[in-house]
Structure 1
Amino acid sequence: MGVILTILSAVLMTAANYYGHLYFLSWFAFLPFFYYIYIYSPEINYRKIFLRGWNLGFWILLLSANFLYYSIKLYTSAATITIILLLILLFLVLSLIYGLFFMLYFYLQQQLFAKRSLSAFFFAGCWTLFELVRHYLFFFFPIANPAYTQAEFLSFIQLADVGGTWLLTFILVFANGLIFQIIFQKKFKKAVILGFLLIFIFSFANYSEQSWGFSNNVDREKIEIGIITSEIAQQKKWSADQLQRNIELTLNAAPKLNRARLIIAPETNLTFDFEADHYYRQEFLARVAAELKTPIQIGSLASKDTGSGRYNSSYLISNKGKIISRYDKNLLLYFGETYPFIDLLNKYTSYSFSSLNAGEEKKIFEYQNLKWETVICSEILYPEYVRLNREEVDFIVNQTNEAWFRESQLLKNIMWQAAVFRAVENRIPVIKTGNKSYNGIIYPSGNYQRVDSRENYHILNLELQHVK
């Protein structure tokens, strides 16, 4: 029964990562687990609480990151059973921290509270601190925070403006504890606290709407942004036959998107080295000058003259075919763009692993009174990295290539949820465009316009708000 209740908690906690409108299930997710450790189990000791916490963490991570199967399969072509065993081992190791957390929490509870009584506030505080530690300790695995499941709960996520995902995590877990106390521990007075909590959430949402939507301290400017999206399988994307098609897909945007102030293409939409391959670069720049009437932002795995290796880069090119600026991705994706212990991997496996180079600075692109920051693919998952002031930029661009994960709805949702949070946290619009991804614009309120992935060219209406 303990295993069943633990798995049920993990399922409730992660359901909204698959179907966003199930966000309300996260508000009850801890109840089965609480029921097991506080009511059902006749005796809980350190061994049991560690194993149950470890089990809970394993299922949370498995249900949050099973999309990794596709990228490993694509990169290594390993046998299915090998990949499954590898992922099980990975999740078992990463989830050990959940077991250690519950052991420490159990010890502190024994010292501070009655043995079989839950303190909702204390547990919420401990879990929030745990998520904070896990985020920075396992920085290469920045997912599975329950706050992200609330991306569709617009009233609630307005609080991310003041406290980020950490405040939302605390409130969400605190509400779980209060509901458990009301239902199973018959502490009906806790309903008053829960009521005040809900009033606070909706009152703050109303305040945010009023202050953001009707402020007299901003000038508003409406512009059009063009984005290019694609649905190209990863194996096909990098084939020699596809190289010219990728160029044509980009340049064929001209008749559709020339009226826009800016055109943005996905991550690595050009599959040649934009720095080293002079033939294709000059051909591309010449055609941009001839065909496009607006600047375009493209992506490429590109080298540099100053050293060896390649970078995951984004270029801004003027409508005259001149390179204006370049950003090299700073935070590389572990086991995708960079590999620890690479010499050992190449020595003891049959695969040839190689890492990209990481960029060394953030970059704000500027063109014709527009300013924006670009974060490439997984960088959107790091709130501390995508931290800006409205005075600094007009919008954020997130270029992605999610074809590594085939058609994983889970991965697409996680990336989109992160983009929603970055928009609300910074009160800056996020424009997301990619290959095999969800694409569109997320407004500072968390509302969004998602485009039809069956089309390649889209016009987004963006309202810029310049503080006076």
Structure 2
Amino acid sequence: MGIILTFFAAALLTTANYYPNLYFLSWIGFLPFLYYLYNIKEGELDYKSIFFNGWNLGFWILVFTANFLYHSIKLYTGSSFFLIILILLLLFSLMSLIYPVFFLIYFYLQRNLFNNNKFNPFLFALCWTTMEMIRYYLLSFFPLGNLSYTQAEFLSFIQLAEIGGIWIVSFILVFVNGLLFQFIFQKKFKDVFFIVILFLIIFSFSNFKEQQYLQKIKAKNGYQNIEVGIITTKIDQNKKWTLKQLDQNIELTLGALSDLKQAELIIAPETNITFDFYADKNYRKKFLKQIAAEAESPIQIGSLAGRDSSKGRYNSSFLISETGEIISRYDKKLLLYFGETYPFLELLNRFTPYNFSSLNAGEKEVLFKTKNLKWKTVICSEILYPSFVKAKAAEFEFIVNQTNEAWFNNNRLLKNIMWQAAVFRAVENRVPVIKTGNYSYNGIIYPSGEYKKVLSNKNYHLFNLKIMEK
């Protein structure tokens, strides 16, 4: 019974990662789990059973949140189905060990702080949020599984992210779960009052922020309208790096220059140029010459590119002027584990038949500038790191997220999580986020969390970007 109810709880907590409009299920997700612990097992709990049930819940949350990793491992290594499943089960089993530690700490505090040893929603939510923060900073290479992202469609609620990020959203979500449990299963009817007060605060804050934003626009005599063009692609990862596809990628990128003539800035996906934009001088020279001949606005492209100062390559984004000159370059700083970088490379290459290699991590924080625009670029998985995206927030006017999500076999779960994270980054920083990629959800997200997604199968799209000067 405990395993079934825990599985059900994890499914409820993560359903909105698959179906975003079902975000309300996360508000009752903990109920089956808490019912098992405090009703079915009342008086029988010991630290051993607490540890097991906590690990079980964490394991299923990670399974439901990160199972898309199967596709990238399969594509990169070609390993068998059973070997990949074994690797993922081991990974999720180890990563979920922090959950039972949290439950042990919570139950210890519950038994020592409260004489009646009863469930306390506030303490439970506080311990859970603390655990999420520790997991985020301690296990930074695995920024998945945070419950807050399930609420990306609940716009009134996520406005709180401006003052407390994903942490305040997680705290309130878990706290309300606890209050609902006490109301339904422990008949504490006064908890309804606290729930009503919380939602009144949420909706009042949302309305306040909307009015504040309108007043700010009025005080600054409006906002700046910028036409931004994005290139989107659906290129199979197995074909992307072929010689034939290389030429098609270049043609597709150059084609945007004529189809997006209205745009004041054009943005392409991560690694949309599949030659080394630094080392391959002949291709680069020809490409820049064509841009100078056809472009009327700057274009931002992506490439795996080397540098003179080091061996290997970087996952890089280049800003190129309409005259064919390289204005700026940003090298991705936070590399994706088991995709862009691998621990224990020597051991992996010695004991497996695969030639594993890692990209180099960038070292500098770079803001792109052109004319009267200034923005921050985060490449692919970097959008999952709120503290990283927020660095230098006072200096940039919008965020660009270039991605290549074809590694994950057009997986809806991965695409939803990436989009949900981008929604939170827009609200947290109160700036628009422009997202464009290969096999990804693309479009523009406004500072309120509202958005416009690309719905057509065209490769070129134009958006009106409203920004205020910092």
Match 2:432 to one of 426, 429, 433: 429
Structure 1 position 438 matched with structure 2 position 441: yes
Note if 1:34 corresponds to 2:43.
no
The runs of 4+ residues in structure 1 deviating greater than 3 Å are 388-391
Structure 1 CA distance, aligned partners of 2:122 and 2:363?
41
Q: Find the aligned partners of 1:390 and 1:221 in 2 and give their Cα distance.
A: 18
Given the alignment, which residue of 292, 297, 301 partners 2:295?
292
Counterpart of 1:410 in structure 2 is 413
Partner of residue 2, structure 1: 2
Counterparts of residues 155-304 of structure 1 (less than 5 Å): 155-215=156-216, 216-218=218-220, 219-304=222-307
How does 1:98-117 map onto structure 2 within 5 Å? 98-114=99-115, 117=118
Deviation at 1:214, TM superposition (A): 3.3
Partner of 1:44: 45
Q: In the alignment, which of 386, 389, 403 is matched to residue 386 of structure 1?
A: 389
The change in CA–CA distance for 1:44 and 1:273 in structure 2 (over 3 A counts) is: same
Could you give the per-residue CA deviations for residues 72-118 of structure 1, whole angstroms, max 9, x where no partner exists?
Answer: 00000000111111111111111111112112211111111256521
Contact 1:389 1:426 in 2 (8 A): no
C-alpha separation in 2, matches of 1:217 and 1:68: 47
Amino acid in structure 2 at the alignment position of 1:194: I
Q: Across the two proteins, how many residue pairs are aligned to each other?
A: 467
Cα offset, 1:453, TM superposition: 5.2
- Kept in 1: contact 2:110–2:117 (CA 8 A): no
Write the distance in 2 (CA, Å) between the matches of 1:97 and 1:255: 52
Aligned position for 2:88 = 87
Counterpart-to-counterpart distance in 1, 2:25 and 2:35: 16
Structure-1 separation of matches of 2:97 and 2:339: 23
* Aligned-residue offset at 1:344: 0.7
Structure 1 residues 390-418: Cα deviation after superposition (integer angstroms, max 9, x where no partner):
64112100000000001100000000000
Secondary structure of 2:464 counterpart: strand
Distance in 1 between the 2:49 and 2:13 partners? 21
Bigger drift between 384-393 and 290-299 goes to: 384-393
Q: Which residue identity does 1:236 align to in structure 2?
A: K
Q: Distance in 1 between matches of 2:394 and 2:467?
A: 11
| Structure-2 separation of matches of 1:94 and 1:391 | 35
- Any idea what the Cα deviations from partners look like across 1:278-304, whole Å, max 9, x if unmatched? 111011001101111111000000001
Residues 289-330 of structure 1 deviation map (CA, whole Å, 9 limit, x = unaligned): 111111100000000112211000000001111111100001
Q: Which moved more, 1:255-264 or 1:269-278?
A: 255-264
Amino acid in structure 2 at the alignment position of 1:326: R
State the secondary structure of the residue aligned to 1:386.
helix
Q: How far off is 1:452 after superposition?
A: 2.3
Q: How many percent identity over aligned positions? A: 62
Structure 2: state its 5+ residue gaps.
Answer: none
1:308 aligns with 2:280: no
Match of 2:23 in 1: 23
TM-score by length of 2: 0.98
Q: Distance in 2 between matches of 1:443 and 1:264?
A: 17
Q: Could you say what secondary structure the match of 2:455 adopts? A: coil
Amino acid at match of 1:293: E
Give the whole-Å Cα distance in 2 for the aligned partners of 1:115 and 1:102: 18
Q: How far 1:194 sits from its partner (Å)?
A: 0.9
2:17 touches 2:65 (CA, 8 Å); kept in 1? yes
Deviates more, 1:67-76 or 1:211-220: 211-220
Q: Partners in 2 of 1:114 and 1:402 — Cα distance?
A: 52
Secondary structure of 2:88 counterpart: helix
Deviation at 1:435, TM superposition (A): 0.2
Q: Is the 8 A contact 2:26 2:150 kept in 1?
A: yes
3-state secondary structure, aligned to 2:334: coil
Q: How far apart are 1:217 and its partner, in Å?
A: 2.8
Instruction: Answer yes or no: is 1:348 the counterpart of 2:356.
Output: no
Distance 1:417 1:128, change over 3 A: same
| Contact 2:276–2:306 (Cα < 8 Å) also in 1 | yes
**Distance in 2 separating the partners of 1:383 and 1:16:** 20
Correspondences of 1:59-78 after superposition (within 5 Å): 59-78=60-79
SS in 2 for 1:252: helix
Please report the TM-score for the alignment, with normalisation by the length of structure 1.
Answer: 0.98
Which stretch shows the higher mean deviation, 97-106 or 271-280?
Answer: 97-106
- The 2-side partners of 1:158 and 1:389 are apart by 21
The answer to whether structure 1 residue 460 and structure 2 residue 452 are counterparts is no
Contact map agreement 1:9 1:33 (CA 8 A) in 2: yes
SS of equivalent to 1:84: helix
Q: Verify the 8 A CA contact 2:430 2:447 in the aligned structure 1.
A: yes
1:133-152 matches, within 5 Å, as 133-152=134-153
Gap change, CA 1:231 and 1:281, over 3 Å in 2: same
